[in-house]
Amino acid sequence: MASPDEHTLTFLCGSGFLPSLVGVWDLMADESSQWPSQKGFLIFKETKIIAVIERNENMRRGVEGTYSVEGNRIIMTGLSIDTAPEQGAPGDGEFEIDGDILTITWLSTNQTCQMPHHVDKFRRRAQFADGAVLPPVAIYESDAPNATS
């Protein structure tokens, strides 16, 4: 039996994944961060990741690709979709799961970057099941008031 600090990996087609990571995770807003109204989600399948994160109106990104898990690190192994490639390659992340909360510390892809690592917290929405799981509609809605007729 693995201790609480150890993870048991399952291997599928050469890539490690963690069954407790598989599912849909919603980004939690953080009043104390530089982006207090951020929103987004992650969907982890066995070897595929889909992520949409909006930090603010001008800083949005969606990626789809493959990943693997080594220890407590999520390693991006390939991207098939990236809506903001000008932002550079997405970095790997160190993660911790505590119940229904996933904390990811994003690591910089630039070795000379002296910026602190960014930390995001996500809350589990649901275990991933066969079939489509749609993101919350609010992520696609504008913050502008609706026009009246």
Read off the pLDDT of residues 132-143 as tens digits, 9 standing for 90 and up: 454 444 444 444
DSSP character at residue 118: E
The CB-side HSE value for 7 (13 A sphere, CA atoms) comes to 20
Q: How far apart are CA 122 and CA 30, in angstroms?
A: 11
Q: How far apart are CA 75 and CA 93, in angstroms?
A: 7
User: What is this structure's pTM?
Assistant: 0.70
Residue 87 phi/psi, 5-degree rounding, is -80, 0
Asked if 147 and 62 touch (Cβ cutoff 8 Å), the reply is no
Number of H helices, E strands in the chain: 0, 10
pLDDT 10s digits, 42-86? 999 988 999 999 988 888 999 999 998 988 999 999 999 999 888
pLDDT at site 139: 46
pLDDT 10s digits, 93-119? 999 999 999 999 988 766 555 556 788
